[in-house]
Amino acid sequence: RGRKAWVELADLTGFEGRCDALYFTTDAKAEPPNEVGPQMDTWRRRLLRLPAVPPSAGEFDAVVVGGGIAGTSAAIAAARMGCNVALVQDRPVLGGNASSEVRVHTGGQVGPNIVGEINAPYNKGAGATPHPTLRLD
């Protein structure tokens, strides 16, 4: 206690790799599961105080996972066709690698223009309703 430590995460993937989590503990005997699977899922849910079974977010005509360029385009297209769409995104911005967060830009339309189109009033009639992120803290 009272000591400072420096933590550094080195990306060895060669291209802005991502790390899902860092686990810090003061319990020297605590050891997280080493393999991905049910045991890891249970351990993670317990630490994050998440329910064993996720609550329902509702019923949708289409569910798009990922707000990258393809996912955002798919969600907009489905909403324009009258579908009730859920766009599942785990980042604070849309665009995936082309977003302001990752900055591998495509050279096309960016920023407020895209967000404005997604939130345009006519999309409400098409079945797209923006919802804030549901957090289970």
Compute the average pLDDT of residues 2-15: 81
pTM value > 0.75: no
96-132 burial by CB neighbour count: b if 16+ within 10 A, else e?
Answer: bebbeebeeeeeeeeeeebeeebeeeebeebbbeeee
Per residue in 54-107, pLDDT (tens digit) is: 899 899 999 999 999 899 999 999 999 999 999 999 888 888 887 777 766 666
Per residue in 9-56, pLDDT (tens digit) is: 887 776 666 777 888 888 989 888 988 899 999 999 999 999 999 899
Tokens 């351990």 -> residue: 43
**Residues sharing a CB contact under 8 Å with residue 18, sequence separation 6 or more, in sequence order:** none
From residue 8, alpha-carbon distances to 32, 34, 57, 127 in Å are: 20, 21, 37, 45
